[in-house]
Amino acid sequence: MIALESVSKRYGSKTIIHDLSFNVEKGEIVGFLGPNGAGKTTTLRMVAGFTTATSGRVTVAGWDMATQNVAAARRIGYLPEHPPLYDTLDVSTYLRFVAKAKGVARAEIGAELARVIEACRLEAVSRREIFKLSKGYRQRVGLAQALLGKPEVLLLDEPTIGLDPGQIQEAREVIRSFGDDHTVLLSTHILPEVTLICQRVAIINHGRLLAIDTPSGLQRAVEQANHVTLHVTAPAEAVRAELLAVDGVSALEIRPIAEDDRILAIDCRVDDRDGMEAAIARAVASRWELHRLERRHPTLENIFLHYVSESPIAEAAA
């Protein structure tokens, strides 16, 4: 339903998106994950047809967004980071206006409004002026306008930004329900979004795609990044040599603890095998005083940080 093929975007001499390629299948919710400035909004704007790629090809439902974006727009519902709301209108009047602008048949507008108001849980505020709504309700109105016209594809740019925890939970439940009937590309820099909503995750930084897989697939892909951390009183170079001699330890970082520089904090990158903690403990405790040892398995958060920290240095993307 959404395909990007070797897409790049430049503004003058500055490249914002670098040779980006990925697909989103029908009925799939994909999280587009990256830090602020990674290029998420620029990519969504190309998919939505608001701007065109400098090179490469973007298609939505088979339509080329460079030459057929008007036809494709009928199949897209788009929620930008700041929802396009008219504050002086009440919710129903605003949604009616958007339905007409999208070309919804007059006879179907009433049913469409009822459908999106129910889907986004706006019944309690349907007659209230938009400027009187909370941030959470305003975001739901933005989701409702994106749903009007029954688009096949939904593009959601940071849909929960600025919401309180209760509002975020409500927005997640609404978005998760969309996956049955829509293809969804959801941009966010909030890690829990992708684990709770999305079937796959695409990680982007500096305008480059670093990885795309299911959350569990990403965990398996970086299992070699398992870590064992320990605190030990020992000479730095001697303990470094001892630990690197342990089978399964591939790299390590050593730094003194701020509270007591006699104690070293050591972070060992280890293989995904049982018994690594015991092997490290034996190597250290036989010669020096071991104060603490624990194993840290990959989580989506440290997987994300792993990919971002390993990504090439480039000009910041918009």
The percent of residues in the chain predicted with pLDDT above 90, rounded, is 59
**What is 223-297's CATH number?**
3.30.70.260
Q: Whole-angstrom Cα distance, residue 112 to residue 288?
A: 71
* Per-residue pLDDT at 310: 65
How open is the CA angle 83-88-90, to the nearest 5 degrees? 80
Q: Which of 185, 186, 96, 187 is nearest to 149 (CA)?
A: 96
Instruction: Tell whether the model's pLDDT for residue 172 goes beyond 70.
Output: yes
pLDDT exceeds 90 at position 182: no
Query: What pLDDT score does 263 carry?
Result: 92
Summary mean pLDDT of the chain: 88
Q: Is the pLDDT of residue 207 over 50?
A: yes
* H-helix segments, 102-164: 106-119, 135-147
The domain locations on the chain are 2-220, 223-297
Label the pairing between strands 55-60 and 208-213.
Answer: unpaired
Is the pTM higher than 0.85? The answer reads: no
Model confidence at 312, pLDDT cuts 50, 70, 90, reads low
Q: How confident is the model at residue 59 (pLDDT cuts 50, 70, 90)?
A: very high
The 10s digit of each residue's pLDDT in 44-55 is 999 999 999 999
Comparing 227 with 212, which gets the higher pLDDT?
212
State which amino acid sits at residue 84: P
Instruction: Specify the pLDDT at position 189.
Output: 81
Q: Are 255 and 264 in contact (CB under 8 A)?
A: yes
Strand order in the sheet with 289-296: 249-257, 260-270, 226-233, 289-296
Mean predicted confidence (pLDDT) in 287-307? 79
CA distances from 313 to 77, 204, 304 (A): 34, 13, 16
pLDDT at 318 over 50: no
**Would you state the pLDDT for residue 316?**
44
Short-list 12, 34, 29, 5, CA closest to 210: 34
Query: Per-residue pLDDT for 224 more than 80?
Result: no
More confident residue, 129 or 226: 129
Q: What pLDDT score does 93 carry?
A: 97
Fold of 2-220: Rossmann fold (3.40.50)
d(CA 86, CA 105): 22
- The SS3 assignment for 264 reads strand
Give the confidence band of 223 by pLDDT, cuts at 50, 70, 90: low
Query: Which H or E run contains 306?
Result: helix 300-310
Per DSSP, the residues of 41-90 read HHHHHHHHTSS--SEEEEEETTEETTT-HHHHHTTEEEE-SS----TTSB
Residues 201 and 147 sit within 8 Å (Cβ to Cβ) = no
Confidence at 175, pLDDT banded by 50, 70, 90: confident
Closest CA to 134 of 146, 145, 121: 121
Read off the pLDDT band of 305 (50, 70, 90).
Answer: confident
